């Protein structure tokens, strides 16, 4: 009896599309028939498809605190206009919900300044890392029209650190920079959470917040006298940024995009 029920269920699911087609009224021809077919098609689950993500503009800052100097501020905005590249993999359960992950490279960091009253001198500096990022998120909304919310989290793994400083005093100006591969100055893993919105045809606005300290507080070095110092002890910076991105889809999305354009043309008739 159990096997008969399972076989009946399987056959009903297998022949469901044909049954739906046969049950459609004979008078439904032309536009109505095409719209019904398009609705059935876009409601079907999608396989995994690939996309390229391009972060074109990024405005970032950080919650910065230093227990040694009793300071707590929001750092100056840092604007990045370069292209951050990534490859994403999507899976759409249906037309309203989907998931994505991927891998990409980011340029993240902060602007800040310090003041030395003994000289006097103000130092404005930038610290940034290139990092490999792995996101994991969910999409909710109209996936075929590319209008949906995104939310999720991920981790960034820094692999190159750079420091740039501009010293401004009464009589002199000096520029200094240094870089380091796989530096221990920053945390080895930077977890984050994000929310955003996608707009047709693939423009994404996203806000991202880092849950841990940008700096490695246990990092040690030596000063000019050879003494061991811990420059980031008591220092905490939580990065956050707002980005504008493009999400370009390939593979299975070509089918989905063709269906979307067909439905859009039918609506405009």
Structure tokens at 177: 């920079």
pLDDT at residue 120 in the model? 56
Could you give phi then psi for residue 142, rounded to 5 degrees? -95, 95
Which residue has tokens 């905490």?
236
CATH number where 62 lies: 2.40.160
Same domain (yes/no): 207, 85: yes
Convert the pLDDT of each residue in 94-122 to its tens digit.
Answer: 889 999 999 999 899 998 887 665 555 67
Considering the domain architecture, whether residues 219 and 135 belong to the same structural domain is answered as yes
Q: How many domains does the chain have?
A: 2
pTM of this prediction exceeds 0.85: no
Same domain, 62 and 11: no
Element (H, E) at 19: helix 16-23
b/e string for 97-109 if b means 16 or more Cβ within 10 A? ebebebebbbbbb
Q: Please state, in angstroms and rounded to a whole number, the distance separating the CA atoms of residues 5 and 13.
A: 12
On whether both 78 and 107 belong to a single domain, the answer is: yes
Question: Which pLDDT score is estimated for 121?
Answer: 63
Indicate whether 36 and 55 sit together in one domain: no
How many CB atoms lie under 10 A from the CB of residue 11? Answer: 10
pLDDT number for residue 34: 54
Prior bond to 201 cis, omega within 30?
A: yes
The CA–CA distances, whole Å, from 105 to 22, 85, 219 equal 51, 6, 24
Instruction: Show the tokens assigned to 91.
Output: 């899976």
- Shared domain check, 73 and 7: no
DSSP secondary structure, 207-255, as one string:
EEEE-S-SB-TT--EE-TTS-EE-TTTTEEEEEEEEEEEEEEE-THHHH
* Residue 46 pLDDT: 55
The DSSP bridge pattern shows strands 228-229 and 203-210 to be unpaired
> In this structure, are 65 and 29 located in the same domain?
no
Q: 126 forms bridges with which residues in the sheet?
A: 111, 164
- Distance, in Å, from the CA atom of 6 to the CA atom of 234, rounded to the nearest integer, reads 64
pLDDT of residue 114: 74
The Cα 204–Cα 22 span in angstroms is 41
Closest CA to 44 of 258, 267, 268, 256: 256
Q: Per the structure block, which two tokens stand in for 79?
A: 């604007």
The backbone torsions φ and ψ at residue 70, rounded to the nearest 5 degrees and listed phi first, read: 55, 40
25 and 156, same domain (yes or no): no
**Residue 178 and residue 66 share a domain:** yes
- Give the model's pLDDT for residue 85: 80
Provide the residue range defining the domain that includes 129.
Answer: 48-268
Q: pLDDT below 70 — which residues of the chain? A: 1-47, 83, 115-121, 168-175, 250-264, 269
29 and 88 fall within a common domain: no
Measured in degrees and rounded to the nearest 5, phi and psi for residue 81 equal -105, 0
Based on the domain organization, do 9 and 112 belong to the same domain? no
**Do both 254 and 166 map to the same domain?**
yes
């Amino acid at each position: 009896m159990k096997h008969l029920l399972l076989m009946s269920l399987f056959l009903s699911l297998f022949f469901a599309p044909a049954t739906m087609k046969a049950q459609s009224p004979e008078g439904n021809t032309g536009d109505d028939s095409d719209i019904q077919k398009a609705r059935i098609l876009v409601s079907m689950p999608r396989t995994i498809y690939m996309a390229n993500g391009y972060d074109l503009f990024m405005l970032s800052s950080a919650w910065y605190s230093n227990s040694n100097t009793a300071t707590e501020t929001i750092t100056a905005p840092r604007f990045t206009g370069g292209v951050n590249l990534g490859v994403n993999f999507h899976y759409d359960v249906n037309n309203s919900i989907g998931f994505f992950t991927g891998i990409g490279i980011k340029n993240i960091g902060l602007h800040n300044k310090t003041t030395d009253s003994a000289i006097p001198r103000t130092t404005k500096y930038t610290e940034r890392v290139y990092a490999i990022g792995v996101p994991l998120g969910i999409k909710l909304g109209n996936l075929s029209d590319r209008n949906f919310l995104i939310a999720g989290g991920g981790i960034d793994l820094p692999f190159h650190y750079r420091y740039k400083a501009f010293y401004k005093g009464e009589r002199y100006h000096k520029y200094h920079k240094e870089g380091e591969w796989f530096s221990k100055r920053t945390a080895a893993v930077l977890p984050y959470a994000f929310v955003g919105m996608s707009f047709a045809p693939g423009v994404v606005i996203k806000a991202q917040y880092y849950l841990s300290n940008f700096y490695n507080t246990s990092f040690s070095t030596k000063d000019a006298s050879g003494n061991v110092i811990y420059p980031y002890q008591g220092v905490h910076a939580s990065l956050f940024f707002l980005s504008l991105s493009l999400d370009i889809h390939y593979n299975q999305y070509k089918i989905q995009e063709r269906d979307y354009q067909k439905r859009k043309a039918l609506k405009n008739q």
